[in-house]
Amino acid sequence: MSDYLPPNAFVRFLNLMHAISVLPVGIKLDPQEERVMQELGLRWGRGDSVTVLAAMNMMPEASPSTVQRRLKSLRAKGLLSFESAPHDARVRHVVPTSQATAYFDGMSDLMQRAVDRR
C-alpha cells in the first residue's frame, strides 16, 4: 500500500467497486441463457467447479456450440467469467461474478415473494 494514502483506502476502493458492480441493471436473458444459468447455478450450488468443456456438454437438449455461444453472451452481460485452472492454463473454468450472485439472490427473492402471496 502507498505510504501517502490511508492504510485501508484500497479495501474501501474494492468494497465500493464491488457494490457498484452489483448495481441492478435489469439484465434480460433469453430462455436458453436462463437455462444455462440454471444448470450452472445447480453445479455452483453443489460447490462443483465447472470447466468450459463440461459446461458445453451439460445440457443434452442443446448442442455444445449453442451453449458456448450462450456462455459468451452471458460473459458479455457480466454474469460469468472464465478463469484458467492454476495447474493447467489450457483448462478454463466458468466462474460466477458478483452479478451472477445478485441474479440468483434476485431469483430467490422473487420465489420467496411468490410463496408469501399464497
* Residues engaged in binding another protein (CB under 8 A): 2-6, 8-9, 11-13, 15-25, 52, 68, 71-72, 75-76, 78, 81-82, 92, 102
- Quick one: 30 or 109, whose CB is closer to another protein? 109
- Quick one: 6 or 63, whose CB is closer to another protein? 6
The minimum distance between CB 31 and another protein, in angstroms, equals: 22
The minimum distance between CB 73 and another protein, in angstroms, equals: 12
The minimum distance between CB 118 and another protein, in angstroms, equals: 26
According to the 3-state scheme, what is the secondary structure of the chain? CCCCCCCCHHHHHHHHHHHHHCCCCCCCCCHHHHHHHHHHHHHHHCCCCEEHHHHHCCCCCCCHHHHHHHHHHHHHCCCEEEEECCCCCCCEEEEECHHHHHHHHHHHHHHHHHHHHC
